[in-house]
Amino acid sequence: MDNKLADYMNELLSKDTVTPCHLSPLPILGVPHFWAENEDSHFYDDAFVFRSGRRKK
């Protein structure tokens, strides 16, 4: 599965039509069970890590 996903992402991201503005950031520290500290709700109060979304132009 990991190789299939890696191949798919490699193919997708190799296209000229896919640019960083088409991608959304993944706040990996907010993924459950990735980081032990994220079990505490105060963990998400850190505005440097968990910023509000981008403003639409």
Q: What is the pLDDT of residue 25?
A: 78
DSSP state of 57: -
pTM of the model: 0.41
Q: What is the pLDDT of residue 31?
A: 85
- Nearest Cα to 49, choosing from 28, 22, 24, 20? 28
Q: What is d(CA 32, CA 42) in angstroms, rounded to the nearest whole number?
A: 14
- Mean pLDDT of all residues in 35-52: 84
Confidence of residue 46 (pLDDT cuts 50, 70, 90): confident
Q: How far is CA 15 from CA 18, 21, 25, 45, in A?
A: 6, 14, 19, 37
